Amino acid sequence: MSGITDLDALREAMAENSERPEGPARNARAEELLAAAEQLNVPLAVIEALGHQVKVYNYSSEKGKMFVPFARLLRLWDERPEDFDEFEAHSLHWVFKWVSSGMLDQPHIPLASIEEWLGEMERRYRLAGYSEGAVRSAEHSVAAHVGDVARAERAYAAWLAADRDAMSDCHACELHAQGWWQAELGRDEEALELWRPVLEGRYTCAHEPHTVLASSLVPLLRLGRRDEARANHLRGFRLVRAMESMRGAYAEHVEFCALTGNEARGLELLAERPAYFTDDGQPQSKLDFLSVVTLLMDRLTGLGLGDRRVPGPAGREWTARELAAHARAEALALAARFDERNGTIHVGERARARMARKPLADRLPLGVRSVGPAPAPAPPPVPAPVAGQPDLPALLAEARRLSDHLQPHAMEAWAAAARAAEGVELDPRDRAEIADHEAMGLGPAGAALFERAAGLYAEAGDPGEALAARTRAAYVRALGGDVAQAVAAVQGPYEEVLALYADGGTGTRQTAAVLMGRARVLLRRAHAAEGPGAKAVHGAAEAAVREVLALVDGRTGQDVRLAARAAEAQAMLAELAGLRGDLAAAVELFARGAAAFVAAGLPWFAVEYEARLASLAHHLGDTAEAERALRAALEHGGAQLEAPGRAQLHLQLAELLGGRDEVVEAAQHALEAAHWADEAGESATLGAWARQQLGGFLLRRGRWAEAAEVLESALPDLTAETHGDGAVVQTMWWLGDCLSELGEHRAAAERRLQAAEIARTWPEQHDHATLAHLAGESLGQAGLAAEAERAYTRAGDLWRTLGNPRGLVRSLRARAWLALRTQEGTAAARLLMAEALRECETARDAAADEASRQGFAEELGHTHRQFGDLLARSAAEGDADAPPPALLEEALAQLLRSAEVFATLGDGALHSRTAAELTAGWLEIELGRLTEARARARAVLAAYEAHDGTGAGGTGREEAVDDASGEAVRARRAEAEHLLRVAAEDGD
Q: Bigger pLDDT: 101 or 412?
A: 412
Eight-state DSSP code of residue 205 = B
**φ and ψ of 802, to 5 deg:** -80, -5
**φ and ψ of 505, to 5 deg:** -85, -5
pLDDT digits (tens, 9 = 90+) for 59-74: 887 888 888 999 899 8
Go through the chain and tell me how many residues it has: 988
Measure the CA dihedral 21/23/26/27, to 10°.
150
Q: How confident is the model at residue 413 (pLDDT cuts 50, 70, 90)?
A: very high
What is the rounded average pLDDT of the residues 626-640?
A: 93
Residue 628, classified by CB atoms within 10 Å of its CB into exposed (0-12), middle (13-18) or buried (19+), is middle
- Per mean pLDDT, which range of 112-126, 229-243, 257-271, 361-375 is the poorest? 361-375
Q: How confident is the model at residue 821 (pLDDT cuts 50, 70, 90)?
A: confident
Residue 83 has pLDDT above 70, yes or no: yes
| Chain CA centroid to CA 371, Å | 16
Eight-state DSSP code of residue 904 = T
Nearest-CA neighbor of 37 among 80, 66, 73, 91?
Answer: 73
Nearest-CA neighbor of 142 among 173, 105, 178?
Answer: 105
Q: Could you give the CA distance from residue 698 to residue 712 in angstroms, rounded to a whole number?
A: 13
Distances (CA, A) of 798 to 387, 789, 816: 83, 14, 18
Cis-peptide into 209, omega within 30 deg: yes
Q: Could you give the CA distance from residue 708 to residue 699 in angstroms, rounded to a whole number?
A: 8
Count the Cβ atoms, other than its own, within 10 Å of residue 820: 20
pLDDT digits (tens, 9 = 90+) for 524-558: 999 988 888 889 999 999 999 999 999 998 777 77
Q: Which DSSP string corresponds to 324-354? A: HHHHHHHHHHHHHHHHHHHTSSHHHHHHHHH
pLDDT digits (tens, 9 = 90+) for 366-405: 999 876 554 444 444 444 444 444 489 999 999 999 998 8
Element (H or E) spanning 691, and its range?
Answer: helix 688-700
Give the pLDDT confidence score for residue 176 in this predicted structure: 97
**φ and ψ of 950, to 5 deg:** -120, 5
Residue 319 bridge partners (DSSP): 309
User: Does residue 255 contact residue 292 with C-beta atoms inside 8 Å?
Assistant: yes
Element (H or E) spanning 558, and its range?
Answer: none
Give pairs for 297-300: CB < 8 Å, separation 24+: 297/321, 297/323, 297/324, 297/327, 298/324, 298/355, 299/258, 299/263, 299/359, 300/263, 300/373
Q: b/e for 523-553, b at 16 or more Cβ within 10 A?
A: bbbbeebeeeeeeebbebbbebbebbbebbe
Residue 805 has pLDDT above 80, yes or no: yes
User: Does residue 601 contact residue 556 with C-beta atoms inside 8 Å?
Assistant: no
Count the Cβ atoms, other than its own, within 10 Å of residue 109: 16
The sign of the dihedral angle between the CA atoms of 243, 247, 249, 251 is positive
**φ and ψ of 853, to 5 deg:** -60, -45
Give the pLDDT confidence score for residue 947 in this predicted structure: 62
**Bridge-based pairing state of the strands 318-319 and 309-310:** antiparallel
pTM for the model stands at 0.85
- Per mean pLDDT, which range of 264-273, 372-381, 519-528, 824-833 is the poorest? 372-381
Give the pLDDT confidence score for residue 21 in this predicted structure: 87
Q: Bigger pLDDT: 379 or 618?
A: 618
Q: Could you give the CA distance from residue 838 to residue 842 in angstroms, rounded to a whole number?
A: 6
The amino acid present at 67, given as its one-letter code, is F
Q: Bigger pLDDT: 885 or 573?
A: 573
Which residues have C-beta within 8 Å of that of residue 215, sequence separation ≥ 6?
A: 176, 179, 180, 183, 191, 195, 249, 252
**φ and ψ of 314, to 5 deg:** -65, 155
Q: How confident is the model at residue 879 (pLDDT cuts 50, 70, 90)?
A: low
Eight-state DSSP code of residue 281 = S
The amino acid present at 34, given as its one-letter code, is L
Q: In 59-106, which ranges are continuous DSSP H helix?
A: 67-79, 86-104
Q: How confident is the model at residue 609 (pLDDT cuts 50, 70, 90)?
A: very high
Q: Could you give the CA distance from residue 825 to residue 568 in angstroms, rounded to a whole number?
A: 77
Can you count the helices (H) and strands (E) in the chain? 46, 2
Give the pLDDT confidence score for residue 372 in this predicted structure: 54
User: Does residue 231 contact residue 706 with C-beta atoms inside 8 Å?
Assistant: yes
Eight-state DSSP code of residue 167 = T
User: Does residue 826 contact residue 887 with C-beta atoms inside 8 Å?
Assistant: yes
Q: How confident is the model at residue 665 (pLDDT cuts 50, 70, 90)?
A: very high
The amino acid present at 408, given as its one-letter code, is P
Eight-state DSSP code of residue 316 = S
pLDDT digits (tens, 9 = 90+) for 425-434: 999 999 999 9
| Chain CA centroid to CA 281, Å | 33
Output the CA angle 184-188-193, nearest 5 degrees.
115
Nearest-CA neighbor of 289 among 249, 345, 318?
Answer: 249
Average confidence score pLDDT of the chain: 91
Distances (CA, A) of 522 to 71, 519, 527, 542, 962: 91, 5, 9, 9, 66
**φ and ψ of 133, to 5 deg:** -55, -50
User: Does residue 228 contact residue 220 with C-beta atoms inside 8 Å?
Assistant: yes
Give the pLDDT confidence score for residue 881 in this predicted structure: 61
Residue 451 has pLDDT above 80, yes or no: yes
Nearest-CA neighbor of 53 among 72, 32, 30?
Answer: 30
Q: b/e for 746-762, b at 16 or more Cβ within 10 A?
A: ebbbbbbbbbbebbeee
Element (H or E) spanning 307, and its range?
Answer: none
Q: Could you give the CA distance from residue 28 to residue 39 in angstroms, rounded to a whole number?
A: 17
Q: Could you give the CA distance from residue 497 to residue 507 in angstroms, rounded to a whole number?
A: 10
Q: How confident is the model at residue 988 (pLDDT cuts 50, 70, 90)?
A: low
Q: How confident is the model at residue 986 (pLDDT cuts 50, 70, 90)?
A: low
Which residues have C-beta within 8 Å of that of residue 936, sequence separation ≥ 6?
A: 917, 918, 920, 921, 924, 979
pLDDT digits (tens, 9 = 90+) for 293-308: 999 999 999 999 999 9
Residue 722 has pLDDT above 70, yes or no: yes
Give the pLDDT confidence score for residue 371 in this predicted structure: 63
Residue 50 has pLDDT above 80, yes or no: yes
Q: Provide Rg for the chain, Cα atoms.
A: 38
Residue 830 has pLDDT above 50, yes or no: yes
Residue 453 has pLDDT above 50, yes or no: yes
Residue 205 bridge partners (DSSP): 208
Q: b/e for 441-460, b at 16 or more Cβ within 10 A?
A: eeeeebbebbbbbbbbbbeb
Residue 318 bridge partners (DSSP): 310
Q: Could you give the CA distance from residue 86 to residue 94 in angstroms, rounded to a whole number?
A: 12
Eight-state DSSP code of residue 375 = P
Distances (CA, A) of 454 to 477, 480, 743, 815: 16, 20, 71, 82
Q: Could you give the CA distance from residue 412 to residue 414 in angstroms, rounded to a whole number?
A: 5
Element (H or E) spanning 309, and its range?
Answer: strand 309-310
Measure the CA dihedral 290/294/295/296, to 10°.
100
Residue 964 has pLDDT above 60, yes or no: no
Return left, alpha or beta for 151; rule: phi > 0 is left, psi -120 to 50 is alpha, else beta.
alpha
